[in-house]
Chains A and B, each alone.
Chain A
């Protein structure tokens, strides 16, 4: 293999691809990145057996060929080089890199050992706009469980609707639901559960993707032919991930159909009040309390936190209140997670009592819903 490539292009590709390299596999080949010429372009591939990535780069090819090289070392080497043309050449299992001033050779491994990283299939399941997907995934992924003890809950459930997909994640304490618009939906696939962790990587790759011509970017989702893996297709990148097998809990039955108290308040004000309260609350149980009294003191909501050894805090924000008086407590981390991803200026909060799940959503947007289980408080 012999080719010429720009340092900026190669560096950017290596940074993205390296994140899918296995960090702790016992197989040496999995710590490597595959470089391979393919139809006039250079393909970089990496996998940790859970996810896989193919990244294509425009290059000037003199000789076809392939090699695998240790990701960590090459990544650092290329990053340290100045922005210039780099010549890549392989001799047996060694890669020679040269610029005007540098000559480097790196010992690689035979590319025949490298596992095949799946490509995007012919037919997509759905096609998303880039911004829609980034926003939607960010809003849902926060609620996926970290704890591997319940594998199904570490994933995000995708189900198809008429005009798009519904994405749901829950860790048993909170639930996030987002309806995302999409085109070319294949309704034969009823549901998919994709690991939340790999969806975070999808968001990162999407954020890094830019269109040279400044046009809008679409991202496609598909299944491999054996239906064992999901593949996200970006311009010049295919990112594949394993699927989670199992039954996702019946989330529809826990979405409250009615409420006894309803409040509408400004997001920024609420966020500030929660952040202040969290300073007190984090010292013990992370509990902040919301007090809503539509009859006694309408037009406001009180946010309090109290920790015996530290102190107490109380803030009031303007709010439109309806219904019954309610004192409800939440883990402030869950509130912050939600507030950090929700869009819009105003939030609607509804609950059916101090122990009933609290429903949060932005005003004027029915596509996003976040449910948080309150904390039981004394007195």
Chain B
């Protein structure tokens, strides 16, 4: 019998002899540390408890232990405080060391944060991602140039730099250079001033992977364009990989020479759309992992639902939320997130009654409800009546026969015909769609 079991039995027997409060306060947290040479070492959590047991319960404890072990024992008490599991986070004051600025690689200009492991693939960017993978397998051979375009903060730069990182990882001797087009222009101007344009040319023409960000900024800068054109050609002819990003497709970049545009379009052009809901949620979860935050999925869900524009904003809001919660010492839960976004607790949607629908339609078309539910088949009554049929069937899911009864005892085939007709018009006719949306809106108010 091991010490734990033995002590368990002793305590169970003891429980019968002492009152419950004493048992709980004094004995519940004791343990038998060892039993050697008839000396039992018992740990207590607290010196007061130790004193009370020693003074009042020593003989009782001893007699129970003796009868359990069939031996003559003596007891020794030691104090051992229970140390609770310390949570590792000890507040922002101590986090200073952990937060380090990303060190830009001065050689390649790549940001170490932007790798494929932190790139979330979703519907909006899976094609671009797949193309990028092909390029990594065969730099300069698969798609050259690779032209990525999309709105602000959708991940163009991230994808581009990830390509750079991945190629470097595979071929460490490759010369990868990431540069915003603005930098290209500035360096060119500097080189012209310093009169060492040949150094500039040499630098840019000895690259294996050339990543140019925001190429649209080259528009209107003629000399930059010319130099870029030559660099482009030189690299392209040598089979080097070129990746470009822009906020619009090549054909829409203005004030750029035709020959440059046509070269941009010579490879593969892909666009990245703003992330959809699932991707946004996945991005937030990735950020949570990256920043080592403890946030509920439900909170991330609220953020993903409320921010639809781009990833950068998503990330910004997440950290804003975290800082606000920690600075106001409140827990970051769904209530906090909701109040942050100013979401009222949703009112329970009231249950729509068929008569409300009929009333709403009658108001919209200025026709008496009795006419709508009556027998007359005059054209001005029939169309609104069909809208009612559509709404009752599609929105309220009322059985056809029942709708027929409500609208003056009409046959269910009439209802099918009427609602189908409106559904078609709803999908094809903008003005009718608008009318119906208006009715729906008055119903939901």
- List residues 76-94 of chain B with CB under 8 A from any CB of chain A: 79, 81, 83-84, 86-87, 89-94
B327 x A172 contact (CB < 8 A): no
A297 CB within 8 Å of chain B: no
Query: Which residues of chain A come closer than 8 Å to B22, judged between CB atoms?
Result: 27
- How many of chain B's residues touch chain A, expressed as a range? 20 to 34
B49 CB within 8 Å of chain A: yes
- How many of chain A's residues touch chain B, expressed as a range? 35 or more
B96 x A357 contact (CB < 8 A): yes
B320 x A378 contact (CB < 8 A): yes
- Interface SS of chain B: helix
A228 x B94 contact (CB < 8 A): no
A175 CB within 8 Å of chain B: yes
Given contacts A26-B24, A254-B96, A331-B327, contact A228 B47 (CB under 8 A): yes
Query: Which residues of chain B come closer than 8 Å to A127, judged between CB atoms?
Result: none
Q: Which of B52, B81, B96, B328 contacts A115 (CB 8 A)?
A: B52
Q: Determine the residue in chain B with the shortest Cβ distance to A151.
A: B84
- Number of residue pairs across A and B with beta carbons under 8 Å? 95
A175 x B93 contact (CB < 8 A): yes
Query: Which residues of chain B come closer than 8 Å to A49, judged between CB atoms?
Result: 25, 46, 48-49
- Least Cβ distance of B3 to chain A in Å? 23
B51 CB within 8 Å of chain A: yes
The interface-forming segment of A76-84, A94-102, A241-249 is: A241-249
- Least Cβ distance of A134 to chain B in Å? 26
A373 x B91 contact (CB < 8 A): yes
Query: Which residues of chain B come closer than 8 Å to A112, judged between CB atoms?
Result: 55-56
- Least Cβ distance of A210 to chain B in Å? 30
B323 CB within 8 Å of chain A: yes
A286 CB within 8 Å of chain B: yes
B81 x A245 contact (CB < 8 A): yes
Query: Which residues of chain A come closer than 8 Å to B89, judged between CB atoms?
Result: 172
In whole angstroms, how far apart are the Cα atoms of A107 and B246 in the complex? 88
Query: Which residues of chain B come closer than 8 Å to A152, judged between CB atoms?
Result: 86
Q: Which of B86, B94, B97, B328 contacts A285 (CB 8 A)?
A: B328
Given contacts A115-B52, A245-B83, contact A375 B94 (CB under 8 A): no
Query: Which residues of chain B come closer than 8 Å to A175, judged between CB atoms?
Result: 93
A150 x B86 contact (CB < 8 A): yes
Encoded as 1 (CB less than 8 Å from any B CB) or 0, chain A from 64 to 78 comes to 000000000000000
- Interface SS of chain A: loop
Query: Which residues of chain A come closer than 8 Å to B126, judged between CB atoms?
Result: none
A90 CB within 8 Å of chain B: no
Q: Which of B86, B94, B327, B329 contacts A246 (CB 8 A)?
A: B86
Q: Which of B46, B49, B51, B90 contacts A249 (CB 8 A)?
A: B90
- List residues 142-175 of chain A with CB under 8 A from any CB of chain B: 149-153, 170-175
In whole angstroms, how far apart are the Cα atoms of A252 and B223 in the complex? 56
Q: Determine the residue in chain A with the shortest Cβ distance to B84.
A: A151
Q: Determine the residue in chain A with the shortest Cβ distance to B92.
A: A373
In whole angstroms, how far apart are the Cα atoms of A151 and B90 in the complex? 11
In whole angstroms, how far apart are the Cα atoms of A27 and B83 in the complex? 23
Q: Which of B49, B84, B97, B329 contacts A253 (CB 8 A)?
A: B97
B48 x A170 contact (CB < 8 A): no
- Least Cβ distance of B163 to chain A in Å? 33
- Least Cβ distance of B348 to chain A in Å? 27
A311 CB within 8 Å of chain B: no
Given contacts A27-B21, A150-B90, A245-B83, contact A287 B327 (CB under 8 A): yes
A224 CB within 8 Å of chain B: yes
A371 CB within 8 Å of chain B: yes
A85 CB within 8 Å of chain B: no
B67 CB within 8 Å of chain A: no
Query: Which residues of chain A come closer than 8 Å to B90, judged between CB atoms?
Result: 150, 153, 170, 172, 249
Given contacts A27-B22, A245-B83, A376-B323, contact A174 B93 (CB under 8 A): yes
In whole angstroms, how far apart are the Cα atoms of A157 and B408 in the complex? 85
B94 x A115 contact (CB < 8 A): no
A18 CB within 8 Å of chain B: no
In whole angstroms, how far apart are the Cα atoms of A172 and B90 in the complex? 5
Q: Which of A172, A245, A253, A375 contacts B323 (CB 8 A)?
A: A375
In whole angstroms, how far apart are the Cα atoms of A170 and B91 in the complex? 9
A285 x B47 contact (CB < 8 A): no
In whole angstroms, how far apart are the Cα atoms of A331 and B93 in the complex? 14
In whole angstroms, how far apart are the Cα atoms of A219 and B290 in the complex? 51
B68 CB within 8 Å of chain A: no
A150 x B25 contact (CB < 8 A): no
In whole angstroms, how far apart are the Cα atoms of A265 and B320 in the complex? 31
A364 CB within 8 Å of chain B: no
Q: Determine the residue in chain B with the shortest Cβ distance to A247.
A: B86
In whole angstroms, how far apart are the Cα atoms of A85 and B324 in the complex? 60
Query: Which residues of chain A come closer than 8 Å to B320, judged between CB atoms?
Result: 376, 378
Query: Which residues of chain A come closer than 8 Å to B84, judged between CB atoms?
Result: 151
Query: Which residues of chain A come closer than 8 Å to B46, judged between CB atoms?
Result: 49, 242
Query: Which residues of chain B come closer than 8 Å to A174, judged between CB atoms?
Result: 93
A254 x B47 contact (CB < 8 A): no
Q: Which of A118, A150, A254 contacts B93 (CB 8 A)?
A: A254
Query: Which residues of chain B come closer than 8 Å to A253, judged between CB atoms?
Result: 97
Q: Which of A153, A226, A371 contacts B47 (CB 8 A)?
A: A226
In whole angstroms, how far apart are the Cα atoms of A153 and B46 in the complex? 20
In whole angstroms, how far apart are the Cα atoms of A172 and B95 in the complex? 9
In whole angstroms, how far apart are the Cα atoms of A368 and B14 in the complex? 53
- List residues 1-58 of chain B with CB under 8 A from any CB of chain A: 20-22, 24-25, 46-49, 51-52, 55-56
List the 8 closest A-B pairs by CB distance, nearest first: A172-B91, A26-B21, A375-B327, A115-B48, A116-B51, A376-B323, A49-B48, A115-B52
Binding site for B on A (CB under 8 A): 25-28, 47, 49, 52, 112-113, 115-118, 149-153, 170-175, 224, 226, 228-229, 242, 245-246, 249, 253-254, 285-287, 331, 356-357, 371, 373, 375-376, 378
Q: Would you list 21 pairs from A and B whose C-beta atoms are within 8 A, ordered by A residue?
A: A25-B25, A27-B21, A49-B49, A113-B52, A115-B48, A115-B51, A116-B55, A118-B47, A150-B87, A151-B84, A170-B90, A172-B92, A173-B92, A224-B47, A242-B46, A245-B83, A246-B83, A254-B96, A356-B96, A373-B91, A376-B320
* Besides A26-B25, A47-B48, A174-B93, 8 new A-B residue pairs in contact (Cβ under 8 A), listed by A number: A26-B24, A52-B48, A115-B49, A151-B83, A170-B91, A172-B93, A357-B93, A375-B327
